[in-house]
Chains A and B, each alone.
Chain A
Amino acid sequence: MDGSVFNMTMFLAILPELWIFALASVVLVLDLTLPKEQHRVLGWVTAVGLLLGMGISLIIGMPSDQPQFVWGDLIRFDQLGFVFSLLFMFGAAMTALFSSNLEKLGQRGDYYVLMLVSTLGMCLMASAADVIMLYLAIETTSIPLYVLAGFYKEDEKSTEAGFKYLLFGAMTSAIMLFGFSYLFGIAGTTNLYELVNRVTQNQLSPYLLYGVLAFILVGFAFKISAFPFHFWAPDVYAGAPTPITGFLSTASKAAGFAVLVRVLWIGFVEIQPYWVYILTGVSIATMTIGNLLALAQKDIKRLLAYSSIAHAGYALIGFVAVSELGATSVIFYLIVYLLTNLAAFGTVAVFEKKSGSSDIASFAGLSRRSPWLAMMMLVAFLSLAGMPPFGGFVIKFAVFAAAVQRGLIGLAVIGVLNSIVGLYYYLTVLKVIYLYRSEEEHIAVPIPQASLLALAVLCIGVIFVGVIAAPWFDIATLGARGLW
């Protein structure tokens, strides 16, 4: 574990990050040199660049089965980080495609650069093995996201979203940093993997760790929008540009979970009963509140915001079932949830561009205006509701299975009851799309090429996972095994 000598592994370990950095520079240069009318191409450059990066990482950047610590033990080169990095890059690529035909958003280079930097931060979050690295990564992720949420400067709601996100984010991250400082104080190390040893060797009082963890969980709960730090989500999601909302609710949330998994399962493994206890409560509260409040929503972005809170609760079910199946189910959940929710926000973005409204009522008659867009929304929403043959069914099954395996039958039953509430409001949206008539029925809703491509990839992906689940499940298992 000598970080002073450079070797190849060190660079392979941060290959995705390096690639994203280079790509961001390219986009920045193109933004300056290309004439205004060709800026449409920036979205494609970002997306293709990210997909290429994924390909290259897959070919040469695969971590071995033996995890390695690199860069002075700041980063752990393992499959968990790798799987998540690919996931974030994919999510960013799809978001870039959705954005590319929105004038005030997708034709500006700085937008893509901010998104790429944020993605870079997420990749680091997933592989950080040290709380200092972790904190830096979280901030690298968050600060561009604050700007992106408020990217429509003329739009009051967007500015409000950006500002609210910033205030909440800054506060929770300060509390988390405070927790980190205590951690160093009592354990004398900032390394998560070292922390475990210190705890056992020095026989640290668990009560100190309880306190520290409480501070740290504040920051994490904010990232995954879990109760009681979910209040920002609906306002921010509703105000932020729709593709960014999609990105926030999927990639950013997945990054939060990646961190949560590593810090709690590795660093705080000694006080596992304590945080299982807390997070079980958080899981129940999060999914119940998310689902119940979603019932009352009139705006589709707010509805999806609450739904995304609820989904964080479901993923936590797999999380508190601390086992290999539990870890696998969480990762699997996040992979499929990313596909599904990006598709949902993608369809909303397409529709919103045409109609200028994100009211659920304005979706009336969509199946007559654009049968394909309606069908894609159907796929996305039913997958969110956990219906087969879509991916959403398999992941729900996986987390419930993980819970039942550990004997958490009560938790599984609460999850199941919640998914019934979920089904209700997702079906309500589909009812508007398919059943209700509107005066604008004859006006078609065109799907721009870039969005069509992204939506097709996502929807086919959602169905594909639902129909042929094994390879995806294996990827998730690979990531889960990389944790230890």
Chain B
Amino acid sequence: MQFPILSFIVFTPIVAALVIFLIPEDRKDEVRVAALAASAFALILSIWVYFAYDIQVGGYQFVEQVSWIPALGISYKVGLDGMNAPLVLLTGVVMFTGVLISWGIDDRPREFFTFLFILATGVFGVFVSLDLFMLFFFYEIAVFPMYLLIAIWGWKETREYAAMKLTLYLFVGSVIALVGALAMYFTAGLGTFDMLELEKAGFSREFQILWFPFVFIGFGVLGGIFPFHNWSPDGHVAAPTAVSMFHAGVLMKLGAFAALRVGLMLMPEGAKFHMSWIILLTLVNVVYGAFIASVQTDFKYVIGFSSVSHMGLVLMGFATLTREGLIGSGIQMFSHGVMTALFFAVVGMVYDRAHTREIPKLGGFRKVMPMVAIAFIIGGLVSMGMPGFSGFIAEFPIFMGVWKSYPMIAIIAAISIVITASYIIRVVGRVFYGKMPEEFEGHVHDVTVLDKIALVFLSFILIALGVFPGWMVPLVESGVSTILRLLGGA
């Protein structure tokens, strides 16, 4: 038997959470060091597994299977393919940088890292699950720590409201999808929750058409699909920095990915039937999200709505059901995850020092924190889809895919790029350039070394993918070919 690397990745965070909770409360530094060590370990494992995946062989690799409730055909089954490998890597990256950025948390850091790591286990688990039950199991593990993380450590003004709103939205989405999953299980009559088996179950067209919206929209809630995106900006804004990073960077991908895995891949006929109207929803996401972002005065809300817009692109790529669109979405999930983590890290750093996020009240931060400014500009260029950055590698194929099937939609969606450019440039100009208000002179200082490491690391990934896409595109392509096979070469 091979080394169970995926299980190590999934369970490292939760074991670390237990260990951290056993450290006495007042030893805050030891808590932080333990958290950093665990996240570094998970990161190294996820980098390793990412590059160890053999594209030539393709399919699911590093598969592990342990029977869980044999009577119901539930097993713990995990595996890696071209679609989820980048997401596992993304989670490792965001978790590691999130710990670096949370170093300054002083109110019960032990509980903070415990909950954050439980969340991380849930996220890793969803990405690698090949069993439908396990996917839900991990999915809901990822939901509840979110509530506490936002409610306890979040922004005082809105945290209680936003945390509850977010949790209920996500829970509603997941349980609706759960009913769909149960229907699949019993209709298939195979007595197994193994998704690779269910793929072959051959559900009737009527069944797929009936249930596909439940599953796709149910999970799509977490992916921020319009009109159920409302929890996301509120949640992002209320959350503490590391949690916003996790949230926008990884959790929203969880929804998109599960919608792909359970909705699209298990019910391809349903997908073909419904995608023509779902793509309109995603179009609203893309354009409307960008518009709303451009009129926000709160720095964090700008980024929050930009996530809605960018996640719309991911879902739009899915909805095209084309090779190009799916490849673009696969890369966009990774690219947007890193980019938005970078954005939220920057917002957090500015807010921690200025104690305000109102864009008109800020200015001239380039002088005191030059690296933060550079990092934000890099993120901004990614966000606009500038060639040479990862955003281009991701968005270009999506637009190609959309053009192939719905040229009108591609044209309308392209407007969002212009709007994105406008709000990014506005933020860069107002926050980092211009004159610094007097109240900040002498009070605002540069960020810590750990913060800088995190920023450099995230920026590096964005550029590396933009300049040299060869380390991700073929991998995602191999994953997409599996999906296309299920779609019958559509």
Contact = CB atoms under 8 A, between A and B. Distances in A.
Interface of A: 328, 367-368, 371, 375, 382, 385, 387-389, 393, 397, 400-401, 404-405, 409, 412-413, 416-417, 419-420, 423-424, 427, 430-431, 434-435, 468-470, 473-474, 477
B70 A420 contact: no
Given A371-B111, A416-B176, A473-B69, A401 B168 contact: no
Interface string B78-101: 000000000000000000000000
Contacts of B140: 387-388, 393
A54 B25 CA distance: 38
B228 to A, nearest CB: 14
A230 to B, nearest CB: 25
B68 A469 contact: yes
B108 A367 contact: yes
Contacts of A375: 21
B164 A427 contact: yes
A386 B64 CA distance: 27
B198 interface: no
17 contacts: A367-B108, A368-B108, A371-B111, A387-B141, A397-B178, A401-B185, A404-B185, A416-B178, A416-B179, A423-B171, A424-B164, A427-B147, A430-B147, A431-B151, A434-B152, A470-B70, A474-B71
Contacts of B111: 367, 371, 434
Contact of A427 (B133, B167, B185): B167
Question: At the interface, is chain A mostly helix, strand, loop or mixed?
Answer: helix
A262 B8 CA distance: 46
A82 B152 CA distance: 45
A468 B151 CA distance: 30
Given A416-B179, A424-B168, A473 B71 contact: yes
Given A397-B133, A427-B164, A431-B151, A382 B144 contact: yes
Contact of B141 (A368, A389, A427, A468): A389
A420 B143 contact: no
B406 interface: no
A81 to B, nearest CB: 22
Interface of B: 21, 25, 67-72, 108, 110-111, 133, 136-138, 140-141, 143-144, 147-148, 151-152, 160, 163-164, 167-168, 171-172, 175-176, 178-179, 182-183, 185-186
A301 to B, nearest CB: 23
Contact of B168 (A388, A412, A423): A423
Contact of B67 (A367, A405, A430, A470): A470
A409 B183 contact: yes
Nearest to B160: A431
A400 B133 contact: no
Contacts of A424: 164, 168
B141 A416 contact: no
A375 B110 CA distance: 12
Contacts of B70: 470
Contacts of B164: 424, 427
Given A409-B183, A470-B68, A435 B151 contact: yes
In this complex, which of A375, A388, A435, A469 has the most chain B Cβ atoms within 10 angstroms of its Cβ?
A: A388
B143 A387 contact: yes
Contacts of B137: 388-389, 393
Contacts of A368: 108
Given A393-B140, A434-B148, A435-B151, A420 B168 contact: yes
A420 B143 CA distance: 13
Nearest to B159: A435
Given A401-B186, A409-B179, A420-B172, 6 more contacts: A375-B21, A388-B136, A400-B182, A420-B175, A424-B168, A434-B111
A405 B178 contact: no
Contacts of A385: 144
Contacts of A423: 167-168, 171
A401 B72 contact: yes
A404 B179 contact: yes
Contact of B178 (A389, A400, A435, A473): A400
A470 B67 CA distance: 9
A148 B110 CA distance: 41
Nearest to B172: A420
Contacts of A328: 71
A419 B151 contact: no
Nearest to B141: A388
A372 to B, nearest CB: 9
Given A371-B25, A388-B137, A420-B171, A404 B144 contact: no
Contact of A404 (B141, B148, B186): B186
In this complex, which of B25, B67, B178, B182 has the most chain A Cβ atoms within 10 angstroms of its Cβ?
A: B182
Contacts of A468: 68
A434 B175 contact: no
A416 B175 contact: yes
Contacts of A401: 72, 182, 185-186
Contacts of B138: 388
A390 B110 CA distance: 21
B123 to A, nearest CB: 13
B401 to A, nearest CB: 35
A435 B152 contact: yes
B144 A387 contact: yes
A367 B160 CA distance: 17
A226 to B, nearest CB: 23
A24 B167 CA distance: 48
Contact of B179 (A400, A435, A470): A400
B60 to A, nearest CB: 23
Nearest to B14: A389
A434 B159 CA distance: 13
A355 B453 CA distance: 47
Contacts of A388: 136-138, 140-141
A387 B178 CA distance: 13
Please name the 10 residue pairs, one residue from A and one from B, whose CB atoms are nearest each other, closest first: A404-B182, A416-B175, A388-B137, A470-B69, A387-B144, A388-B140, A388-B141, A405-B186, A473-B69, A434-B152
A385 B144 CA distance: 10
A9 to B, nearest CB: 29
B71 A477 contact: yes
A217 to B, nearest CB: 29
A252 to B, nearest CB: 29
B182 A412 contact: yes
Contacts of A474: 71
B238 to A, nearest CB: 12
A385 B179 CA distance: 17
B104 to A, nearest CB: 20
